[in-house]
Amino acid sequence: MIKIAAMGDNVVDCYLSNGTMFPGGNCLNVSVFIRRFGGVSAYIGAIGQDEAGSVIEKALHDENVDLARLRILKGATAYCIIGHRDADRVFVRADLGVSMFSPSSDDIAFLKDFAAVHIGQSSGLDDHVSAAATQTLLSYDFSTRRDPEHRRTIAPLCFLASISGGDLSHDEALAIATELRDCGARWVLVTRGSEGAILLGAEGLFEVAASPAELVDTLGAGDTFIARTLFGLIAGETPHALLSAAAVAAAETCRYFGAVGHGAPIKLSGVVPELQTISS
């Protein structure tokens, strides 16, 4: 059984269009998708003692994600206000709440029982990725962060380094992937939205076109692609097979609202009046 942990960010994505909030965040999403792909997963992170936190906790529980290292803290759960332009998401504003946390020594030791751990740059855990990488294989999502010094610092620790490259040309995407690989990342994934994705590693360069989909909401598609790629690499699948499966899975995520579903009416203490102002 493939066991993969995710440590870092979570959020409720609040959709102005329908008054619904959905659990999300790069690391939370990866933990859910790993379970859906047939693996065992655990989520390490922090939520608040509020309605949004309860929605996140229930969703993870219903998805059978291990919550042994989930912190429930005083304060507000992170939220992000989401608008849409066609089916593509637009980030209006966000508040990180209690989601930015420092893992304990027990959290780091917990990782040794997993084949890999996924951490995203938006989680603010860069000071801890080295310790995590001593326990298991590291998957790291650089997202849209592009500063070369950051890449050179993190890449040597990575089993899988991922980049969100929907704004990059093919040559630009390949150049960044090559730099990350040359800096030490074993595998590099660049997701490029409707242009598909590329995967670069010691076995060569592999590419896949985006799978056709009726677009409802693109939020979470990149996280789906990362999770399926990581799962496939750990499982020993061929690059062609795992990329094809990842493209299909990402297209499926685009067919519904929210990265992982589990929607609930927006209920954020002290924020709802502001939402009504934004949406009016």
Per residue in 76-108, pLDDT (tens digit) is 999 999 876 665 666 778 899 999 999 999 999
| Mean pLDDT over each residue of the chain, to the nearest integer | 93
Q: How much is the pTM? A: 0.93
Question: Residue 84 has what pLDDT?
Answer: 65
Question: Residue 89 has what pLDDT?
Answer: 61
Average pLDDT over every residue of 235-242: 98
Question: Residue 85 has what pLDDT?
Answer: 66
Both tokens assigned to 247 = 């493209």
- Please count the CA atoms within 13 angstroms of the CA of 52 that sit on its side-chain side: 33
Placement of tokens 């592009």 in the chain: 146
* 177 touches 146 (CB < 8 A): no
Phi-psi region of 116 (alpha: psi -120 to 50; beta: other; left: phi over 0): beta
Proportion of the chain above pLDDT 90, given as a percent: 87
Per DSSP, 156 falls in state: G
Please give the distance of CA 227 from its chain centroid, rounded to a whole number: 8
Among positive and negative, which fits the CA dihedral 67, 70, 74, 76? Answer: negative
Min mean pLDDT across 123-137, 189-203, 220-234, 266-280 is at 266-280
Among positive and negative, which fits the CA dihedral 67, 24, 224, 109? Answer: negative
Distance CA 13, CA 216 (A): 15
